[in-house]
Structure 1
Amino acid sequence: MTSAPSGSPSRHADPDENPYVEATPADFEPVAELSAEDAAEQASLLRSAIREHDHRYYVEADPLISDEAYDRLFARLRELEDAFDLSTENSPTRRVGGEPLDELETVEHVAPMRSIDNSTEADAVREFDERVRGGLDAAGFDPDEAAYVCEPKFDGLSVEVVYEDGEYARAATRGDGVAGDDVTEQVRTIRSVPGRLRGNPPARLAVRGEAYMPRDAFEAYNEELMERGEEPFANPRNAAAGTLRQLDPAVVAERPLDVFFFDVLGWETAEIEDSEADDAPERPTAHWDEFDAFDALGLRRTDRIERVRDIEDAIDYRDRMMADRDDLNYSIDGVVISVDDREHREALGSTARAPRWAFAHKFPPRTATTTVEGVTVQVGRTGRLTPVAELHPVDVGGVTVSRATLHNPAEIEALGVNVGDRVRIYRAGDVIPYVPEVVEKRSEGTYAFPETCPVCDAPVERDGPLAFCTGGLGCPAQLDRAIEHWARRDALDIEGLGSERVEQLREAGLVESLSDLYDLTVADLTELEGWGETSAENLVDELEATKEPSLDRFLAGLGIPDVGATTARALAAHFGDLDAILDADENALREVDDVGPEVAASIRTFFDTDENRAAIAGLRERGVEPEPVDVETGGALDGLTFVFTGSLSTTRSEAQAHVEAHGASATSSVSGNTDYLVAGESPGRSKREDADAADVPVLDEAAFADLLAERGVAWPPDGEE
């Protein structure tokens, strides 16, 4: 049995050469007094120092400086990048989140990310060992020379992360094992994922990791969600998966995700033209040594790994990990036992689904039986109704459980569960347990799901297996979310109106509807804890400045289901003013690019709800009137429809707004109505395939600029007079 390998002392920044590693100045010289060269040099030192501090804090858990000192360095770097236009793709400041995405593109993996055969039974692990030994013997290797690496099986979301010349380049979810969702911008925000590798990296490195939410952070985050009236996540795995699939990287940046790296998918030392990695070391020949490489490169990995030669030691490792799992700050559902030597792995090969050289020895699920004493229906801030079983308290794996989710009304119907029934509770590491089956029917019939909202008494509507309150902006349970959505950056962009302050205003009784925001006074606000004269005046001024918003921002701010910034712009450009949209039927709405039958129905349902109409009327009564759009005026790009994919020299939303300002339409997906797909760097494969299928021309950015120039339109937008 061998303990975990030791790491390399390589660093992002040497304290002897970088003044920001072990000490930070209380004040920096004014930006106006710096030359461009001095600013660039200082920014470079700050980036290196911040990367070192990120590594020491998030990977080694051994910080060098205080949080306050770190914040000063970070703020200074952002100040320099903004003042001198010095931002780089992998700057630490990019971790706060980039431009919201329209959809997740699909990308192919560097190497297949296969599943692993598994069992909870020790005999199955012994059979795996026999297969390995027999396979090695048949291939001419001595089976007694084989060793296994044992490591935790993390219960999160598997991701591929690719580095080129040591720089973070791409990330993707596992997907079907061959291709997954492109989550490059989302993973970029995770602080334990380095934007630049340490030491001497290969030209291209693809590594497999597990994104997860630490247990303590998950519990704190769930508590925050419930305090705000939002639906909590069922478990840390769902939280990680749901977070990484967010289209807005800024949302991901606000959530406490972390990553463990555990496998090398690809290692190329000099395959990239002009690579600086010609002298990089070759790929390690053993999996055990890959963990040393992770240390040297600054990639976070677990230290709960062991190397063994006897399969009984591997089984013993699993039993010890099962005993310790409740003390870990991350969820695991078993252990992975894999052949260490790479030549041995290659000789054993893989099936179409799983490698023959690895096996997961899983933990048994934690279950118990108890009685349903009641059902509570919670209303989330999206209006979704979630039934919760109130249980006779029971011990499940050392945790007393008195509540369990029933998920939705369809799940209740499938289970046939009612108050009084005896049910099985399944936890398996879940913070929120659930009910998988009724083990003894003690009641008559099935629980009758309410037909009206338990908070506002509005009718409940079903959407497939789910149920929603139709109260919309008039439902108190949904109002907090509506206010926060109204204040979002891509809506009315109201600073100082975050979740904590919204909650404070609601608890003080100052805001009972969206329109009440515009009745707030400085005197109202200064009576609340934490508000000074300046902060109160700032918020009142911010609100006053939003009384004449653009029509698309007004629509985006209402939180209409299925209507984001792109669709809001399309609606505004097509109809021109709010009343025309309010009165448009579904057929008229479907004439808008990017609006299909489902979106048209969603828009019509929203505006047909009395509570939503009343909220809009209340806003208008307080002087909030969106500016109309002149739809009669044509433009140089009139009649053209563009779709954008990949990275351009400007953000995607700016590109869309630019072509729309000149009369074109910009949609998020390729269809037969699309005139051009504009593909920047790292374009999404699905949009390219859709364009090929629909015979839509694909332009790179240079060709796109030429097309616009022919019509008298400058590109990029800031080049326009």
Structure 2
Amino acid sequence: MTRSSTRHADPEENPYVEDPPTEFEPVDELSTEAAERQAELLRSAIREHDHRYYVEADPLVADATYDRLFDRLRALEAAFELDAERSPTRRVGGEPLDELATVEHVAPMRSIDSAKEADAVREFDERVRSGLREAGFDPSDLRYVCEPKFDGLSVEVVYEDGEYARAATRGDGVAGDDVTEQVRTVRSVPGKLRGTPPSRLAVRGEVYMPRDAFEAYNEELIERGEEPFANPRNAAAGTLRQLDPAVVAERPLDVFFFDVLGWETAGADGGEDAPDRPDTHRGDLLAFDDFGLRRTDRVERVDDVDAAIDFRDRLGEDRDGLNYGIDGVVITVDEHDARDALGSTSRAPRWAFAYKFPPRTATTTVEDVTVQVGRTGRLTPVAELDPVDVDGVTVSRATLHNPAEIEALGVNVGDRVRIYRAGDVIPYVPEVVEKRSSGTYAFPERCPICGAPVEREGPLAFCTGGLGCPAQLDRAVEHWARRDALDVEGLGPERVEQLREAGLVESLPDLYDLTVADLAELEGWGETSARNLVGALEATREPPLDRFLAGLGIPDVGPTTADALARAFGDLDALLAADEAALREVDDVGPAVAASIRDFFDAEENREAIEALRERGVEPRPVETPDAAGDDASLEGMTFVFTGSLSTTRDEAQALVEAHGANATSSVSGNTDYLVVGESPGRSKRADADAEDVPVLEEADFADLLADHGIDWPPEDEA
């Protein structure tokens, strides 16, 4: 196959591949035929961009350009009700599932025999050569293919006539969980194969979370006060089994494909052009390149077992530099005929073997336990260890995760414990191997930094010192400066740390005491950068109330909830005085969030910080509440939820009702007045509406309701 024949879109025929236009004519000026043609071109182009970005790591367009093309495609599909079943837009996730069904695999997904010793690999080679001689093969023709043994979650992915059809976890090897909608959201899994694939292709892949993405995602979890994942494999496995595909779409999963489970050519669209399966495993992998299936480039075909052992040793040296987890090397017979002759046991093939890396564990003694306070106030216990070598690295500290983990392990100072380390993952304690102490470590009841009481939330523990805890200062300042909060340019993590270490910022209100002279004396600062930061802070002295609230870092209050609170109460004093019952009246604020907000404002340290901000002239601007909305409050007191595709986008529909005094929320509750249903609505929202006895309006009924209040539908396009 030539390269052009395997592309999703030819740049000479598709204007959205290279240097694509990003200014489009209004959707309502297009005919249905023109919209369908443009959508098809965009789908092909986006598939090509996905392949170039996720598989070849050689993008053709900037991220912003890709986003504009993607948004245009979604707008066309919504406005013209185009079939989006196999569109790249499905990657954002479908409706949540009630449970994971079980599906049978195209072919068994067997385990592989493994060992950590070279002698066991040589014994495998002897068995292979003996078996081939008995089957009439010449063992001197034997070739092995060596590739990494990935440490992720194994899946079967099936394509029908080149189109993504379904995916399943390995399960028991014969059948697994149906994760079709979850895997669909993984960007490196093509929705449509390139070139001329067989009519039915079932491939085996490993879904994983890249190490750098894992670290970044764990940071996000910690910032939100949630429990981080212990390692990338747990993160990938836990994500793929989520029942809500939209959640999977938000997490940074990737995939490597490494084997063929089924290859059928009968009935292929390409007829006689459909390729037969290659004769070798290496040929399968090269076919993956033609079809656009992502595979690792760390693959070698070798002539004997010693070369295979050498490959494993070399890959082991590079292991920590890889952006994905591996725990060994898979050595497989290359020729399919030879594989068939060797056959399989009930558990594993006789033609493959995993040569694993040495274990990354060791045993040592816990000498002490220290408790760290993170930027969210989360307390993390750390075991201080008698230093021990783990796979060539001296380990003296290991995380104990949280108080619940300590209780589950029953660990205390003096105990002998096992330490596990894998690449860049923080070493942790999976078990106590010898109990040498009495009892379990007693977690502190007060913050070791500020002395504020410690509160438990499920398995986690948090300092209640809030904005008054020095350990949380960096996080508080960074949160205040975020783009979706006060948007203070020039106040990134490194500068925040520098200001704190210089003693210039010991609390959030101290930001507004900074002077140009103070800043200009710091290393790396000049008068211009100092004036810019002071100016940026001055510009935030009268912030919108919702941004002020978002900047405070109230647990469970993001920009959306902050906006709802601002619109409900109008000014800061009214919100500060609101009790939990009043807070629960706000849409999207349930009992737990209401309690969290009230606890935050009741904490003396937080109230003092808010008052100190106001004393320095930081006074959030009130917003117009529905009671004061005047002529624009024709829908006052109503709450709408939208689902399905409408004649305009859901964002525009929500903005319209909010402009006339109503609330628009993302989920149906007892406070919802109407569920507005478009094409292809979500099942869960309809079920919730039935359970809560909420009226359901088709779009025409919704238009009639708006007309009764003097509001036109659909809204006019301001463009």
- TM-score over 0.5 (shorter chain): yes
Mapped to 2, the partners of 1:682 and 1:86 lie a distance apart of 19
Tell me, yes or no, if structure 1 residue 377 matches structure 2 residue 375: no
Paired residue for 1:261, among 257, 281, 284? 257
Deviation, structure 1 residue 112 = 6.7
The match for 2:440 among 442, 446, 450 is 446
List aligned pairs for 1:524-539, cutoff 5 A: 524-528=518-522, 538-539=532-533
Which residue identity does 2:710 align to in structure 1?
G
Residue correspondence of structure 1 range 241-280 to structure 2 within 5 A = 258-262=254-258
Partner of 2:140: none
Q: Distance in 1 between matches of 2:252 and 2:541?
A: 35
Q: CA deviation at 1:468?
A: 0.7
Q: Which of residues 315, 318, 321 is equivalent to 1:327? A: 318
Q: Does 1:409 align with 2:407?
A: no
Aligned counterparts of 2:312 and 2:149: Cα–Cα separation in 1: 10
Q: What is the CA distance between 1:562 and its match in structure 2?
A: 1.9
Change (3 A) 1:690 1:231: closer
Q: Which of 222, 232, 237 lines up with 2:233 in the alignment?
A: 237
The Cα shift of 1:469 comes to 0.8
Residue identity in the other structure for 1:423 = V
- Call closer, same or farther: CA 1:575–1:473 in 2, change over 3 Å: same
Q: CA deviation digits over 1:180-225, x for unaligned, max 9?
A: 596699745xxx5679865457999997754545457768999999
Describe the shift of the 1:29–1:575 C-alpha distance in structure 2 as closer, same or farther (beyond 3 A).
closer
Give 1:456's aligned amino acid: C
Spell out, residue by residue over 1:356-394, the C-alpha distance to the aligned partner (whole angstroms, 9 max, x if none). Answer: 999996878543211111212111222111111111122
Which deviates further from its counterpart, 439-448 or 517-526?
517-526
For residues 8-40 of structure 1, the C-alpha deviation after alignment (integer angstroms, 9 at most, x for no partner) is: 984578899999999x9xxx9999xxxxxxxxx
Distance (whole Å) between structure 2 residues aligned to residue 420 and residue 539 of structure 1? 50
Q: Corresponding residue for 2:28?
A: none
Q: CA deviation at 1:406?
A: 1.1
Partner of 1:296: 290
Residue-by-residue CA offset, 1:600-648 (whole Å, 9 max, x unaligned): 2111111111111122212222233232332314833334332345677
Residues 197 and 275 in structure 2, CA contact (< 8 A), matched pair in contact too: no
Would the alpha carbon gap of residues 636 and 154 (structure 1) be closer, same or farther in structure 2, given more than 3 Å must change?
Answer: farther
2:658 alignment counterpart: 660
Relative distance call for 1:224 and 1:78 in structure 2 (3 A) is closer
Matched, 1:464 2:458: yes
Write the distance in 2 (CA, Å) between the matches of 1:200 and 1:6: 11
2:33 maps to none
Contact 2:421 2:427 in 1 (8 A): yes
Alignment-derived partner of residue 545 in structure 2? 551
Q: Does 1:486 align with 2:477?
A: no
Cα distance in 1 for partners of 2:103, 2:253 equals: 25
**Aligned-residue offset at 1:473:** 1.6
- Residues 502-541 of structure 1 aligned to structure 2 (within 5 Å): 502-528=496-522, 538-541=532-535
Partner Cα separation in structure 2 for residue 526 and residue 187 of structure 1 = 47
The gaps in structure 1 that reach 5 residues or longer are 32-43, 64-69, 92-97, 130-141
1:624 maps onto 2:626 in alignment? no
Please, which moves more after superposition, 428-437 or 465-474?
428-437
Partner of 1:690: 688
SS of equivalent residue, structure 1 residue 393:
strand
Paired amino acid for 2:496: V
Q: For 1:155, which of 151, 156, 175 is the aligned residue?
A: 151
* Whole-angstrom CA distance in 2 between matches of 1:111 and 1:491: 46
- What is the SS of the residue equivalent to 2:564? helix
For residues 263 and 518 of structure 2, the distance between their equivalents in structure 1, rounded to whole angstroms, comes to 61
- Give the 5 Å matches for 1:564-583: 564-583=558-577
Name the CA shift for 1:611/1:284 in 2 (closer, same or farther; >3 Å): farther
The structural deviation recorded for 1:597 is 2.0
Give the match for residue 635 of structure 1. 633
Distance in structure 1 (CA, Å) of the matches to 2:155 and 2:707: 41
| Cα pair 1:111 1:265 within 8 Å, conserved | no
Q: Counterpart of 2:484 in 1: which secondary structure?
A: coil
Pick one of 52, 62, 69 that aligns with 1:74: 62
Paired position in structure 2 for 1:41? none
Query: Given the superposition, is the C-alpha separation of residues 495 and 653 from structure 1 closer, same or farther in structure 2, using an over 3 Å criterion?
Result: farther
Matched-pair contact (CA < 8 Å) for 1:578–1:628: no
Q: Could you say what secondary structure the match of 1:600 adopts?
A: helix
Alignment match of 1:599 (pick from 588, 593, 600) = 593
Paired residues for 1:96-495 under 5 Å: 105-106=96-97, 152-156=148-152, 178=177, 187-188=186-187, 198-199=194-195, 209-215=205-211, 234-238=230-234, 258-262=254-258, 281=274, 288=281, 291-303=285-297, 321=312, 324-325=315-316, 327-328=318-319, 329=322, 330-333=324-327, 366-427=360-421, 431-495=425-489
CA contact (8 A) 2:194 2:291 kept: yes
Q: 1:437 deviation in Å?
A: 2.4
Taking only the aligned residue pairs, the percentage that are identical comes to 69
- In the alignment, the residues of structure 1 paired with residue 505 and residue 696 of structure 2 have an alpha-carbon distance, to the nearest angstrom, of 49
- Written as runs of structure 1 = structure 2, the 5 A alignment for 1:6-25 is 10-11=6-7
Give 2:619's aligned amino acid: V
CA distance 1:542–1:277, change in 2 (3 Å): farther
How many angstroms does 1:483 deviate by? Answer: 2.6
> Secondary structure at 2:62's aligned position in 1?
helix
Taking only aligned residues, the RMSD between alpha carbons, in angstroms, comes to 6.4
Corresponding residue of 2:606: 612
Tell me the CA shift for residue 423 of structure 1: 1.5
The answer to whether the 8 Å contact 2:113/2:348 transfers is no
Per-residue Cα deviation, 1:223-250 (whole angstroms, up to 9, x for no partner): 99999x99986433356678999x9999
Q: Aligned to 1:433, what secondary structure does the other structure show?
A: strand
**What SS is found at the alignment partner of 1:556?**
helix
Residue identity matched to 1:74: A
Distance 1:46 1:181 in 2: 23
Q: What amino acid sits opposite 1:660 in the alignment? A: E
Instruction: Specify whether residues 693 and 50 from structure 1 end up closer, same or farther in structure 2 by C-alpha distance, changes over 3 A only.
Output: closer
TM-score normalised to structure 2 length: 0.68
Partner SS for 1:483: helix
Residue 470 of structure 1 and its aligned partner are, at CA, apart by 0.7
Cα distance in structure 2, aligned partners of 1:223 and 1:180: 27
- CA displacement 1:263-309 (0-9 Å, x = unmatched): 789999999xxxx999994896999566444311333212456899x
**Letter aligned with residue 584 of structure 2:** R
Q: Taking structure 1 as reference, are residues 664 and 204 closer, same or farther at Cα in structure 2, changes over 3 Å only?
A: farther
- Tell me by how many angstroms 1:459 deviates: 1.4
Q: TM-score, normalised by structure 1?
A: 0.68
Larger radius of gyration: 2
Once residues 402 and 156 of structure 2 are traced to their aligned partners in structure 1, the CA distance between those partners, rounded to angstroms, is 33
Check conservation: 2:639, 2:673, Cα contact below 8 A. yes
Letter paired with 1:659: V
Give SS of 1:719's match.
coil
Distance 2:75 2:204 in 1: 20
Matched-pair contact (CA < 8 Å) for 1:163–1:206: yes
SS at 1:413 equivalent: helix
| Cα-to-partner distance string for 1:79-118 (whole Å, 9 max, x where unaligned) | 9x59xx9855599xxxxxx9xx999844979967898667
Instruction: Name the CA shift for 1:409/1:652 in 2 (closer, same or farther; >3 Å).
Output: farther
Query: Following the alignment from structure 2 to structure 1, what is the Cα–Cα distance between the partners of residues 444 and 11?
Result: 64
C-alpha distance 404-166 of structure 1, shift in aligned 2 (>3 A): same
